[in-house]
Homo-oligomer: A and B are copies of this chain.
Amino acid sequence: MAPQEQDQGQGRQEQGAPRRRNPRGQGQVLRGQLIDAAAKLLATLDQPETLTLRQVAREVGVAPASIYGHFPDLSALVQHVLRLRYEELARLMEQAAQANPDPLGDVVARCAAYARWGVDQPGHYRTLFGGRMPTDLLTGSAHGAGEELFGALVASLAAVTDPDGTRSTPEGQWQAGILLWTALHGLVSLYNAHGTMSWPPLDDLLTDLIGLHTGRPAADIAALLAAN
């Protein structure tokens, strides 16, 4: 997926070792490095929304103007990174779900994958979900990963709470999905920002959260969570 370069001082460029220009025909290499650098900075920065074009250039060890050969501006680069992260998250959730044939296991796996990804990569989570909606980022894509991700979660939840599909309307399932998603989002957001406040372990909160939204016993969910 992402173009991986050989590890020749991959991190920040130090003075004394000036970057070597790529040979002809290898212009796409810098593009990959820009994407990697932006991703790293977005994940790392305290406030990822303050990322600048010059920071990315510095991280790669390249002149600021060099970015314009590959992206029209910083926001295009960031959007590209976010798209990749979004797809990564959607893929992780899908893979986690596929390893759990049981409907409850499916929901638990998706929720756990979402929350753990968000907690592991606070900067990326904040950039993706902290401000404008992901749909804003995915404008123009035929299949926004956001809708896929969310649609699958709605279906997964409905398969637990209404296995026969006779007890609820599509609107009701949609609303239940929104509530589950917003609960997960709030949990991840505040968990990432909780500072010095004492917080229970993430899995304990996830157990109760999923228990509330599925109506299943906490013990069942805790067991599934531990297995994921």
Contacts and interface: CB of A to CB of B under 8 A. Distances in A.
A135 interface: yes
Interface stretch (A55-63, A101-109, A203-211): A203-211
B131 A195 contact: no
A29 interface: no
A216 to B, nearest CB: 13
**Interface hub of A129, A183, A191 (most chain B Cβ within 10 A):** A183
Interface stretch (A18-26, A67-75, A84-92, A173-181): A173-181
A174 to B, nearest CB: 8
Interface in A177-210: 178-179, 181-187, 189-191, 193-197, 199-200, 204-205, 208-209
A167 to B, nearest CB: 14
Interface string A204-222: 1100110011000000000
Given A49-B47, A49-B49, A213-B212, A133 B190 contact: yes
A183 B181 contact: no
A87 B130 CA distance: 24
A132 interface: yes
Interface of A: 47, 49, 129-133, 135-136, 171, 174-176, 178-179, 181-187, 189-191, 193-197, 199-200, 204-205, 208-209, 212-213
Q: Give the top 6 A-B pairs by smallest Cβ distance, nearest first.
A: A186-B186, A182-B186, A185-B186, A133-B195, A183-B183, A182-B187
Given A175-B200, A178-B205, A182-B189, 11 more contacts: A133-B197, A136-B195, A171-B200, A175-B205, A178-B190, A179-B205, A179-B212, A181-B190, A182-B191, A183-B183, A189-B189
